[in-house]
Every structure is written in structure tokens, then in C-alpha cells.
Amino acid sequence: MQYTDAQLNQIYDRTSGKCHICGKKLSFSNYGLSGRKGAWHVEHSNPKAKGGTYHLNNLFAACVSCNQEKGIYTSKTARSWHNRKRAPLSRKKRKKAKTENAIIAGGIGAIIGGVVAGPPGAIIGGGIGAKLGHNVDPDEK
């Protein structure tokens, strides 16, 4: 199967250019070029042998070794070999998750700060909480 550049872009961006199994950074221009740094393949999350389709929602970027290693195992199984539960998020989803973390942590920080030091504490606590929340890598959860 030959993919168009637009399809490859879409597949690559789904996981912010990272292998959906081990999370390693991939190099877009080294698609299909085994042996190159960041070389990657298009991987069928549900294997072709098990009826997986060429529909975009079944396709993920994976490094060459992960793609070979996964074989007919499920993505869940292959990710568990690398202590991962899910595919890396797309840039858009990462941004959204970071904002949500910041809002939640900011709220918690404001409550704690408010209890400890009153309104000024709430402002400081909220700021610190939001910053900490924003620094949490959504992929690490």
C-alpha cells in the first residue's frame, strides 16, 4: 500500500510524530527507510491478518522494530511491553490535556493557598498549581 504525503502527515501527526507503541520520536522524512534514524512504518493497530483495515483510524506511526515486534499482537499488548497504556497524543490533544491539567491543578492550588494564607495565598497557590499542572506531560499519565 502506497500512502500519499497527506495521509502520512495525518498518521504521523496523530501521535505528534512518535511511535505509537514505544513513544520514540520518529523522523517524518525517514518513512520506510529502515536503518535511518527515526525510520518508521505505518502500523495497523488491528493487524491486517485479523481483519484490520486501511482506514486512518486503524493506522499509526511506529518505528520499524516495533512494527516487526508487534506482529499480530494488539496495540495494547505491544504498548505494555514498553510500559505504555496508550498512543502518544497528537499536538492538539496534548495542548488540550495540558490546559485541563493546569485548570485542575490551579483550582487545587488556589484552595490550598486560600486555606493556608487567605485570598493572597489563593492567588499564589493558583498560579503555582496552574504552572505545575501545565508542566505535567499528558503522555506520562
List residues binding Zn ion (CB under 5 A).
19, 21-22, 24, 63, 66
Q: How far is the CB of 3 from Zn ion (least distance, A)?
A: 18
Q: Which is nearer to Zn ion, 22 or 110 (CB)?
A: 22
- Decide: 20 and 60 in contact? Cβ < 8 Å: yes
C-alpha cell at 90: 497528537
Cell numbers 522494530 label which residue? Answer: 65
φ/ψ of residue 21, rounded to 5: -100, -55
Q: Residue 98 CA to chain centroid, in angstroms? A: 12
- Decide: 52 and 44 in contact? Cβ < 8 Å: yes
d(CA 46, CA 126): 43
Q: How far is the CB of 91 from Zn ion (least distance, A)?
A: 19
What is the DSSP secondary structure assignment for residue 54, as one 8-state letter? S
Q: How far is the CB of 68 from Zn ion (least distance, A)?
A: 10
Q: How far is the CB of 88 from Zn ion (least distance, A)?
A: 10
Q: Which is nearer to Zn ion, 54 or 81 (CB)?
A: 81
Q: Which is nearer to Zn ion, 18 or 110 (CB)?
A: 18
Q: Which is nearer to Zn ion, 63 or 122 (CB)?
A: 63
